Amino acid sequence: AARIKREDPIEVILGNPPYAGHSANASVRREVGLTGAVKTVRTFIGSLIEDYKQLDGKPLGEKNPKWLQDDYVKFLRWGQWRLTQTGKGILAMITNHGYLDNPTFRGMRQQLMQMFDTLYVLDLHGNAKKKETCPDGARDENVFDIQQGVALGVFSKAQGTGRRGVNHSDLWGTRGSKYDALAAGTIDT
């Protein structure tokens, strides 16, 4: 299994990674040299995340980029990197929805749009931290028993095809109505 994950082309990556703003998966590690000097070294994923701190090749200038260290961001970035190795594929995850509109994620959004031909994003909202409500003022509920809003993302890259676009939709309402819509819906609807 390790050899296959390391060497064989992977064309589909899907999951529901953890949402942890204070990740236990380090992006940097501290190393002590022979002289006792301590230096900070980026881990593999830490190096990949650096791409998300750029916009048009220039630093974002964020004063607090810590949200780019969230585990779901690392999973998305690893999936993006892995499909780059294969040259085509689909990355599909249900994640925190913070990357959709938070300014800290400008570089991440640009990277995803540059890599993938077609992006489908369904914002399921339900963010209790933001006290989200439906556009008509009714109560908006989360599809999970968590406070953080949720989004479904399906990003595809085909060899030799051009950009087909970003498809974004919102789903508001009660948990039950969201479940019903998700069960009845397709990627086209």
Sign of CA dihedral 43, 49, 50, 53: negative
Which ranges of 64-185 would DSSP assign to H, the alpha helix?
Answer: 71-86, 106-115, 175-184
Select the more confidently predicted residue: 133 or 63.
133
d(CA 95, CA 72): 6
Amino acid identity for residue 83 in this structure: L
- Break the chain down into helix, strand, coil percent, rounded to 5: 35, 25, 40
- pLDDT digit string, tens, across residues 69-112: 899 999 999 999 999 989 999 999 999 999 999 999 999 999 99
d(CA 42, CA 110): 22
Residues 6 or more apart whose CB falls under 8 angstroms from that of 3 comprise none
The pairing of beta strand 165-170 with beta strand 118-125: parallel
Q: In the chain, pLDDT over 90 holds for what percent of residues?
A: 59
Amino acid identity for residue 153 in this structure: G
- pLDDT digit string, tens, across residues 43-52: 888 888 888 9
> Does residue 40 carry a pLDDT above 70?
no
Residue 30: which pLDDT band, with cuts at 50, 70 and 90? low
Window from 85-89, 125-129, 156-160, 174-178 with minimum mean pLDDT:
156-160
| Mean pLDDT to the nearest integer, 104-127 | 95
